[in-house]
Structure 1
Amino acid sequence: MKLLSMVTALSLAATSLVNAPTAAARYTAEIRRTEYGIPHVTAKDHGGLGFGYGYAFAQDNLCVLASWVITLRGERSRTFGPKEQSDDAVRPVDNLTSDVYYRGVAASGVIRRVLAQPPPLGPSAELRELVAGYVAGYNRYLEETGVANLPDPACRGKSWVGPITADDIWANLLDLNRMAGSSPLKEAIAGGEEPEKTGAPEKTGGPEKAGKPEEAAAPAPPGSNGWALGRRATRSGHGMLLADPHFPWTGIRRFYQVQLTIPGVLDVSGGSLYGTPVVQIGHNARVAWTHTVSHAQRYTLYRLKLAGDGAYLVDGRAEPIGRQVVEVPLQDGTVARRTLYTSRYGPVLAAGRGDGYAYALADVNAANLRSADEWLAMGKARDVAGLRAAQDAHQGMAFVYTLATDVSGSATFADASAVPHVTDAQAERCTVPSPDPSLEAYVLDGSTSACLWGRDRDAVVPGIFGPAAQPRLTRADYVANSNNSPWMTNPAAPLTSYAKVWGPSRTDVEPRPRVSLDMIARRLSGADGLGAPGFTLETLQATAQGKRNLTFEMMRADVAAICRAHPSATASDGRRVDLRQACRTLAAWDGRATLDGAGAILWREFYTGLERPHKPGEPFQQWWKVPFDPEHPLTTPRGLKRDDPYVLRSLADVVQRFVSDGIPLTLTPGQAQRYASVAIPGCTEAEGCFDRIRSRGRLGADGRYPDVDTGSSFMMAVELTPSGPRTRTILTYSLSANASSPHHADQTALFSRGQWVTERFTEAEIRADPRLRVTTVRG
């Protein structure tokens, strides 16, 4: 097939280049790019839509996906070395551990088995076409451009860059769904013993081998904020939505902003995670939705009673422990070999073995590819009822709550995710001592089939709760979540009648969810200084980016009292520290983490220092003046113990560190926080900040944190009207991971200044863009 040369997304000229039509062309798509490089992809069918999307994504972010494909194939040790860190942005591990894990997944045949099933257990024909087209589009761009000519120097000319396959995309979708289960437990699954190279006697490291139970503990997944506003909360009487997912700013779990259109079939716009051909958070003309990370458990451990000879007991009968030998090619041409163990419940962990027991991981998303079809169906919904029907049909949400609204102003919340079917009664009957007390998951008795997960008639797969058991709430005012458990979705209608596996109820709401609910309450009463009560699109934007620091608001008066009583204090090293300048700084600060918020960093270091022991072995301190009261969940805990020596010492320690390092006590977020050399406002989760940010590391002696790596990522404010959606968005880290792209930090600069992008959704809006660039791709 002869093709005309293609213009890339990085071209600054507004132009249209159309491939010569041929009868052999299978895919056709039009890519229209508006401000900030945002692509709007249109095609006549799902295959063509995937082709256009894969092509557009490769123009901007090919290197990120190319690297991740090496990860999913278990080829990082051969490519980059076994001891280097993997490119997992949520929890990186060494490449060898990563390769063992992913080669084990591939060898298990789980993807092949799921693809062999009819929908909804297996993918629909439309999704298969979308994936095939996405792969073809990515590969077409790579073929036309050539590895040696790629615009991103991160992978230009690299030998490890090559075509991808549909299996790579299915593997990415599966790994995304396992993100709160198996995937962050790679070390516990793959084992930590030094593998033997091919030709040497195998070190089996059998199930009886002792390990470190703490290796099984999973880190907390990314967070988010979400509001679905109903007709009683908005000035227009129509639905409005705020999406604020807090996902990584680097790697494969970044969002890519896109609009996907098949005329008369699909027209959806929003954020799509890298390497996935569907929109995860977005809207169409009548419905908008978002997700936040759920409190529900995604896996349970099963304690196996070992029977010797490589077996374990279930109902008094011995079942053999499966063995899977995984071989990983290394850079030096040798092959490392490691043995993985399996059971009826799932992989047998390398950690926690001993005393006649081992532990197996049962991941509710171990074979879940249903989420992509669910998102595809949600994008086609006409109202909240249709969106809920799509979720009930697929039941594929892996680890998130769903908040949605529609033109009529119906607002709904549901934990429609896959959750292990463990009732409270079964948990009480089957729970055994945990190998790691920090694990937030049930550890069940694997020696009896009575402790297997249950089954609901309305569940599409055995072992999960069906829709009738899910925590749900539909309101005409609002539903909201900031990673708190379902019970405070709306304080006027607390949810409590759900099993504990879904998360706690009547427990500390935590600062970020508290400030979220307070922001809504103040806007509905008009007490926030933004004008008449009720939300407009403009006040929704202003509220979302208010940069309030709730812990400072709650403790401001107590800090002032401490400062009046103690102009100086003794630090942990026994030295006397003058507190007067620090106290003046905090007294003058308005409590908002804006770029020029002098005092914001001083407060962060003081408050987060309260949570860290001052000396090794020192116990956790309780500094709240008023402890949590479940009868007053939105106003407790509060206050600071003014006379507690620990509190005073904490303040002295942070002031001493600032002074000794030469850091000004008036240090601002704009001075301390960066991404791609752009100053970033905001504060952290612990401080009670709504649109929070995080750096992976502490404040340096130079007064700078490491670059921001997590936080508000794809922010979207939508007002649904009968004449079409009005939408404002901001992709905080911008569209392209390529540092040489003009779209690498252009939206980041807007985010720094508190600005938004006016979305172009309708044909008229897209065509009106004076910077519009149009490309037609065929292949």
Structure 2
Amino acid sequence: MGILKPFIAAALAAGVLVAPAVSAAAPRGEILFDSYGVPHIYGKDEASVFYGFGYATAKNHGDVVVKLYGQARGRAAEYWGPAEIESDRWVIANGVYERAKAWYAQEPASFRANLDAFAEGMNAYAKAHPDKLDPSMLQVFPITGVDVMAHGHRLMNYVYVAPQGRTMGANADAGSNAWAVMPKKSASGNTMLLANPHLPWAPSQLTYFEADLNGPGFKMYGATQVGLPVLRFAFNDRMGFTNTVNGVLGATNYELKLADGGYLFDGKVRPFETRTASLKVRQPDGTLATQTLELRSSIHGPVFARADGKTVAVKVAGLDRPGGLRQYWDMGKSKSFAEYQAIMKRLQVPSFNIVYGDKEGHVQYLYNGILPKHPDGNVAKWAGLVPGDTSATLWTETHPYEDLPKVIDPPSGYVQNSNDPPWVSTWPQAIHAKDYPAYMANNGPMSLRAQHSSHLMADPPKITFDDFVARKLSDHVLMTDRVLEELLAAAAQSSDPEVLEAAAVLKAWDRTVTAEAKGALLFEAWARKFAGPTYISDANYRVRWDPEKPIDTPYGLKDPAQAVAMLKAAAQEAKASYGAIDRPFGEVSRFALGKVDLPGSGGFGNTGVFHVMTWSPLKDGKRTPVHGETWMSMVEFSTPIKAVGLMSYGNSTQPGSPHRSDQLEHLSKKTFRTLWTTRAEVEKHVEERVAF
């Protein structure tokens, strides 16, 4: 406590660690933390549930979330020093916090009360347990409803839709899987739903948090990104929904032509709109230095100077739509598919494929997003730098819900998405790219993971719940079905002992990336050479990806001799890296967090693995997850429902928490937890109770 005292004393003196008044005689609710650290929150009204969720968020993820809130204020450099300057500049230049204030004011009083209650719950935890938070986080308190709104705004609009790296010349990536199966495809006659996002494992704004929210007339179980006050992946006894990243082009980066201190637009020089803002930066000695930011805007939006010398303005769709968080909340409370669709038509959530299923048998795939209308052009045109010197490229409208690709209750009996374009959201296809603007989404190529997803759902006539779970865990490498037989046949013609040895290993391999698999590392090394470092190029296949056969191409070897040479090089690489070409996959690939270190499984999605794990570079003879399986839930809407799931990296990021790595054994053994969705089940597994 010694090092904490000055921070705590200062915070108390400043009044920042003040819990809201709660009458002990009239408790608002209770949090039951189960033995996996999952908070089950029971409240007398909506605001009470939000309060409990805020408290639980601070307990399980306080350090991560409080830092995110400081960043959303545009004051992170003031709190934590120069490393945060670029983050603050981006937030300030785009007006995130000021817009969040306006958005907060535009919300109905009832939802403002919910946002305030979430913040109050975080404040209450900090007051009760200041020693459980990093001392440097205490200066951010008190949290307000505006902070909660600002974090959601920053995450949705300026991480997903308009990431800083894309404007400034970098790339971003993310992934997920989703399935919804109708009663006609289900062996039990019940709808089933898979939620399966893939995001980085390192604690960040993309970390998931599992929770169970219960109040009068509503229940939502699922997960969300830390710091959001609502669940983005949710289910209850009647319905559920999940998300996958779709990359809707909701932001446009315009390259400006500079002239005479301004920029050219329709043949004339226009002056920039300018303003100044101040940015405080904490110095090593604790003092604050002030930087003045000179900010420019064009008719398009905020203007930025890139390292490559280009001047770029970013225009973001949806900045007039404050209701994204409330839409997710209302989706989870919907009582019928018709009501759910009416909520979706608000189109307040700016991005994501959203997949839905309910007990009544309805399923929906929606290519959701706030997408600008353009007169022409394809995805490549509008995803890159667009000429900003003409009004011909300056969009002013966005597409309504009715324009967006969607599939509802298809004859096939299922919908799926694995971040692929919307056109093969079920098979046979129900919608086609030719019927939509070319900039809506690319017409392929369809990734091997997405093709694997389609086959896992389309091939069986009926699917049991156990089979549904088993298919989610598929470690089969689809790429092997397309090339391995031809590779082995070509290698058999060689007299090179290294080639023959490698071919023997691949022939004996079961074509999976399970922990025991002995050819997986060798094939992975070969596939990197054959299909490029991210495994996506189809240039070396004999038959390239074909939109007429989207789930069965590419295949074959264009140049068998070259493929055999790649096999020899891959064998040499495997020996150098792993000590042998038949090293078991799980000896090298490890699920390691803290003191837990277990054999890993799962592979790179672009090789066609559905059970996804992206591995770090090799270090000290092993590699660990960088990205991949995070939150997984599988639900059958039976009576009562069946629900299993896993939070791969655990449900807490706080230092010292036992729930940082306590689910890795399940992940390693490829088993799931039964999700405790009823109060009676939860009561059998209570680790801690908190009344509020």
Partner of 1:219, secondary structure, is coil
User: Aligned pair 1:391/2:344, yes or no?
Assistant: yes
The answer to whether the Cα contact below 8 Å between 1:239 and 1:407 also exists between their aligned partners in 2 is: yes
Change over 3 Å in CA distance of 1:399–1:656 after alignment to 2: same
Paired with 1:427 and 1:761, the residues of 2 have a C-alpha distance of 49
User: Aligned pair 1:127/2:111, yes or no?
Assistant: yes
Change over 3 Å in CA distance of 1:70–1:114 after alignment to 2: closer
* Residue of structure 1 in register with 2:618 after alignment: 699
The answer to whether the Cα contact below 8 Å between 1:545 and 1:691 also exists between their aligned partners in 2 is: yes
Paired with 2:162 and 2:252, the residues of 1 have a C-alpha distance of 14
User: Aligned pair 1:486/2:400, yes or no?
Assistant: no
User: Aligned pair 1:172/2:172, yes or no?
Assistant: no
Amino acid at match of 1:387: Y
* Residue of structure 2 in register with 1:376 after alignment: 329
Paired with 2:494 and 2:89, the residues of 1 have a C-alpha distance of 57
* Residue of structure 2 in register with 1:427 after alignment: 376
User: Aligned pair 1:246/2:164, yes or no?
Assistant: no
Change over 3 Å in CA distance of 1:714–1:272 after alignment to 2: same
Q: Using the TM superposition, give the Cα deviation of residue 336 of structure 1 relative to its aligned residue in structure 2, in angstroms.
A: 3.6
Equivalent runs, 1:159-558 vs 2, <5 Å? 162-179=141-158, 184-185=163-164, 188=167, 215-220=168-173, 222-249=174-201, 250-264=203-217, 266-314=218-266, 316=268, 318-332=270-284, 333-351=288-306, 358-366=311-319, 368-393=321-346, 395-422=347-374, 426-428=375-377, 441=383, 443-454=385-396, 463-476=397-410, 477-496=413-432, 497-505=435-443, 507-524=444-461, 534-558=462-486
Partner of 2:305, secondary structure, is coil
Deviations 1:692-724 (A, max 9, x none): 1113x4334x4322x312112111111112x34
Paired with 1:763 and 1:475, the residues of 2 have a C-alpha distance of 33
Paired with 2:665 and 2:499, the residues of 1 have a C-alpha distance of 36
Paired with 1:233 and 1:254, the residues of 2 have a C-alpha distance of 33
Equivalent runs, 1:548-697 vs 2, <5 Å? 548-568=476-496, 578-612=498-532, 622-645=539-562, 647-661=563-577, 663-673=579-589, 674-676=591-593, 677-695=597-615, 697=616
Change over 3 Å in CA distance of 1:662–1:253 after alignment to 2: closer
* Residue of structure 1 in register with 2:675 after alignment: 759
User: Aligned pair 1:73/2:73, yes or no?
Assistant: yes
Q: Using the TM superposition, give the Cα deviation of residue 300 of structure 1 relative to its aligned residue in structure 2, in angstroms.
A: 1.5
Q: Using the TM superposition, give the Cα deviation of residue 124 of structure 1 relative to its aligned residue in structure 2, in angstroms.
A: 3.2
Change over 3 Å in CA distance of 1:595–1:22 after alignment to 2: closer
Paired with 1:396 and 1:741, the residues of 2 have a C-alpha distance of 36
Equivalent runs, 1:33-44 vs 2, <5 Å? 33-44=33-44
Amino acid at match of 1:335: T
Please tell me the root mean square deviation across aligned C-alpha atoms, in Å: 2.9
Amino acid at match of 2:214: T
* Residue of structure 1 in register with 2:53 after alignment: 53
Change over 3 Å in CA distance of 1:81–1:327 after alignment to 2: closer
Paired with 2:88 and 2:21, the residues of 1 have a C-alpha distance of 43
Deviations 1:341-365 (A, max 9, x none): 21222112313887xx843111224
Deviations 1:442-493 (A, max 9, x none): 6545444454324xxxxxxxx3210110111112501111111111111223
Q: Using the TM superposition, give the Cα deviation of residue 638 of structure 1 relative to its aligned residue in structure 2, in angstroms.
A: 0.7
* Residue of structure 2 in register with 1:6 after alignment: none
Paired with 1:398 and 1:628, the residues of 2 have a C-alpha distance of 30
Unpaired runs of 5+ residues, structure 2, are 1-18
Change over 3 Å in CA distance of 1:732–1:661 after alignment to 2: closer
Q: Using the TM superposition, give the Cα deviation of residue 642 of structure 1 relative to its aligned residue in structure 2, in angstroms.
A: 5.0
Unpaired runs of 5+ residues, structure 1, are 1-18, 85-94, 118-122, 189-214, 432-436, 455-462, 525-533, 569-576, 615-619
Paired with 1:98 and 1:609, the residues of 2 have a C-alpha distance of 37
Paired with 1:180 and 1:76, the residues of 2 have a C-alpha distance of 16
Change over 3 Å in CA distance of 1:727–1:375 after alignment to 2: same
Change over 3 Å in CA distance of 1:114–1:314 after alignment to 2: farther
TM norm structure 1: 0.79
Change over 3 Å in CA distance of 1:613–1:177 after alignment to 2: closer
What is the aligned residue count? 660
The answer to whether the Cα contact below 8 Å between 1:421 and 1:464 also exists between their aligned partners in 2 is: yes
Identity of aligned residues (%): 24
The answer to whether the Cα contact below 8 Å between 1:100 and 1:326 also exists between their aligned partners in 2 is: no
Amino acid at match of 1:277: P
Paired with 1:160 and 1:416, the residues of 2 have a C-alpha distance of 38
Paired with 2:274 and 2:154, the residues of 1 have a C-alpha distance of 22
Q: Using the TM superposition, give the Cα deviation of residue 311 of structure 1 relative to its aligned residue in structure 2, in angstroms.
A: 4.7
Amino acid at match of 1:350: A
The answer to whether the Cα contact below 8 Å between 1:284 and 1:380 also exists between their aligned partners in 2 is: no
The answer to whether the Cα contact below 8 Å between 2:161 and 2:250 also exists between their aligned partners in 1 is: no
Paired with 2:577 and 2:449, the residues of 1 have a C-alpha distance of 31
Q: Using the TM superposition, give the Cα deviation of residue 307 of structure 1 relative to its aligned residue in structure 2, in angstroms.
A: 4.3
* Residue of structure 1 in register with 2:31 after alignment: 31
Amino acid at match of 2:272: P
Paired with 1:271 and 1:248, the residues of 2 have a C-alpha distance of 15
Partner of 2:383, secondary structure, is coil
The answer to whether the Cα contact below 8 Å between 1:384 and 1:404 also exists between their aligned partners in 2 is: no
Deviations 1:33-76 (A, max 9, x none): 33412211011122211111111222221121123233333444
Q: Using the TM superposition, give the Cα deviation of residue 664 of structure 1 relative to its aligned residue in structure 2, in angstroms.
A: 2.2
Q: Using the TM superposition, give the Cα deviation of residue 628 of structure 1 relative to its aligned residue in structure 2, in angstroms.
A: 2.1
The answer to whether the Cα contact below 8 Å between 2:476 and 2:512 also exists between their aligned partners in 1 is: yes
Deviations 1:167-203 (A, max 9, x none): 3211210112125556522585xxxxxxxxxxxxxxx
Change over 3 Å in CA distance of 1:186–1:560 after alignment to 2: closer
Deviations 1:634-687 (A, max 9, x none): 211112235242x23322222222323452222233222233133321001221
Change over 3 Å in CA distance of 1:326–1:180 after alignment to 2: same
Partner of 2:128, secondary structure, is helix
The answer to whether the Cα contact below 8 Å between 1:282 and 1:288 also exists between their aligned partners in 2 is: yes
Change over 3 Å in CA distance of 1:331–1:414 after alignment to 2: same
The answer to whether the Cα contact below 8 Å between 1:307 and 1:313 also exists between their aligned partners in 2 is: no
Paired with 2:421 and 2:159, the residues of 1 have a C-alpha distance of 16
Paired with 2:642 and 2:425, the residues of 1 have a C-alpha distance of 25
Larger relative helix fraction: 2
The answer to whether the Cα contact below 8 Å between 2:79 and 2:139 also exists between their aligned partners in 1 is: yes
* Residue of structure 2 in register with 1:212 after alignment: none
* Residue of structure 2 in register with 1:209 after alignment: none
